[in-house]
Structure 1
Amino acid sequence: MTVQAQLQPGNAPFGVRAELARRFALAREAVETEAPRPSVRRMLGEFDVIAEPMRRPFRRLEIVEAANKQTVMLLPGFATHPVRMRYLARQLETAGHTAKRWGMGFNLGVRPDTMDRLERRLLDLRRRSGRPVVLLGWSLGGIFARELAKRHPAAVGKVITMGSPFSGDPRANNVWRIYQFIAGHSVDAPPIEAELSLKPPVETVALWSPRDGVVSPRSACGQAHERDRAIALRCTHIGFSYSPEAVHAVLRELDRS
């Protein structure tokens, strides 16, 4: 077959077809026991995000100036871009904090170089700010935040996770099959060494919600020895990035840093 023929629709190179087949197999992986995960009703509740742009112009959040201003590195959730956390970042900056992106665009799962790149970003922010950085991670971003704090505790002032599945079965959520297809690896075998449930050696706070339609609330809350504190909110999983309750919870935690 000529190169030109390979590039025609339906004639993808063998390597590409083989990789797609491998990823589809990951997405269809059979499991002996289904892990507990949010119900379909809770999952449908995540569509609340559709109405958020219409509500936002009428919302007036009372943001008080922070007494203890922090530099905050925001780590987005799986399959999201930092722009999804822009509203939250603006509220933090209104309070006087400095909000910084993680510098890696879309979060498409763990890659072999993910932690190396995040370490460089964290250490650069630590150097420029002159003080430890608070890591604010949403969903998978919170997993990265916890691992970063384990590697560089002196550079981290606090870890705040929002709906992050750091505890229990890594399949206790409604997106693990999608994750395996996009990331290209099993949730049991990421391309980095990590013990997700091990608490970082810095103050670690878990924000979780019983209304979460993506991640099992138990996975996001964790057990007592896996975090320092857990705070229950009443928002959806996507709502961690915009709900007034979540915004104020994060601001209170920053003031406690």
Structure 2
Amino acid sequence: MAETDPSLPPSRRLLMLEARAVAELSAFFAMAPLLRRAPAGDGHPVLVLPGLAASDRSTLPLRAFLRDRGYQAHGWKLGNNFGLRPGVEEQLDARLAELHERHGQPVSLVGWSLGGIFAREMARRAPQRVRGVITLGSPFGGAPRASNAWRLYEAVSGHSVDDWPHREDAKRPPPVPATAIFSRSDGIVAWQGCLEREGPTSENIEVEGSHCGLGHNPAVLYAIADRLAQPPGQWRPFDRSGLRGRLYPDPHRA
């Protein structure tokens, strides 16, 4: 079945369930008082990268939440994410360098879907400027066509989905703390390709929800706040003990 075969895109049933994103946005607003109990930040900068064909408008709720928790949250300011077009990586590196210099400290990167793939490569190119990376449903380790969006990628980028230049390197964890947040009921990309190779400073956090709602899903936002609140050099795996276990299933389960 497409739902379990990592080489195939998610099933039509899961794709249709992406309509849940609307309900997840409503839940974001309804649970705003509870989300204010999420771990507070230390004021360091966070750069948020949108998914395929999306712009900074799509990450407004996420960045508002991060600012409420005390972070200096920034959009990528590159318009719509139309893939690996000429100059995109150079512009991203310049944006990272500017924020690093402005704030005088490393920047955390949060990337949604394709934005997460970009974020991980940014961390490889300039690890001294990156505090950590969090990806939301980013298929950095998946087959090129294990997605219901590969045709859209080819249409807006002008490139074949098979021609991504960093494909093999992308499967390795970046040289900074890395957290991959994913959903097994993702209707856009095969969830197996969104998993980080776990190690001393890399992990996976499973949530229940849609791909298109990951940027405002309350469970995702809490997990992001928890990960960003860790002091530099004191990274620890996400604690899903107690009541958290009900919201965050064990990602190692069969």
Distance 1:179 1:37 in 2: 14
2:171 match? 197
8 A Cα contact 2:49 2:111, kept in partner? yes
1:198 CA displacement: 2.4
Unaligned runs of 5+ in 1: 1-32
Q: Structure 2-normalised TM-score?
A: 0.82
Question: Compared with structure 1, are the counterparts of its residues 247 and 61 closer, same or farther at alpha carbon in structure 2 (3 Å cutoff)?
Answer: farther
Unaligned runs of 5+ in 2: 232-254
8 A Cα contact 2:117 2:139, kept in partner? yes
Equivalent residues in 2 for 1:31-70 (5 A)?
A: 35-52=7-24, 57-62=29-34, 63-64=36-37, 66-70=40-44
Q: 2:195 matched to 1:208?
A: no
8 A Cα contact 1:73 1:101, kept in partner? yes
Q: 2:136 matched to 1:149?
A: no
8 A Cα contact 2:173 2:196, kept in partner? no
Return the letter of the residue paired with 1:211: S
Return the letter of the residue paired with 1:210: R
1:196 CA displacement: 1.7
**Which has a greater percent of helix?**
1
2:238 match? none
1:5 match? none
Distance 2:202 2:6 in 1: 29
Distance 1:206 1:53 in 2: 21
Q: Structure 1-normalised TM-score?
A: 0.81
- Count of equivalent residues: 224
2:87 match? 113
8 A Cα contact 1:158 1:204, kept in partner? yes
2:148 match? 174
* RMSD after superposition: 2.2
Question: Compared with structure 1, are the counterparts of its residues 187 and 87 closer, same or farther at alpha carbon in structure 2 (3 Å cutoff)?
Answer: same
Question: Compared with structure 1, are the counterparts of its residues 69 and 170 closer, same or farther at alpha carbon in structure 2 (3 Å cutoff)?
Answer: same
Distance 2:191 2:6 in 1: 16
1:153 CA displacement: 0.3
1:60 CA displacement: 3.1
Higher CA-based Rg:
1
Equivalent residues in 2 for 1:1-257 (5 A)?
A: 35-52=7-24, 57-62=29-34, 63-64=36-37, 66-190=40-164, 195-224=169-198, 228-257=202-231
Question: Compared with structure 1, are the counterparts of its residues 152 and 204 closer, same or farther at alpha carbon in structure 2 (3 Å cutoff)?
Answer: same
8 A Cα contact 1:82 1:101, kept in partner? yes
Return the letter of the residue paired with 1:144: F
Distance 2:212 2:227 in 1: 20
Return the letter of the residue paired with 2:141: S
1:150 CA displacement: 0.4
1:245 CA displacement: 0.4
Distance 2:184 2:6 in 1: 19
1:109 CA displacement: 1.1
Return the letter of the residue paired with 2:30: F
**Percent same amino acid at aligned positions?**
36
SS state of the match for residue 74, structure 1? strand
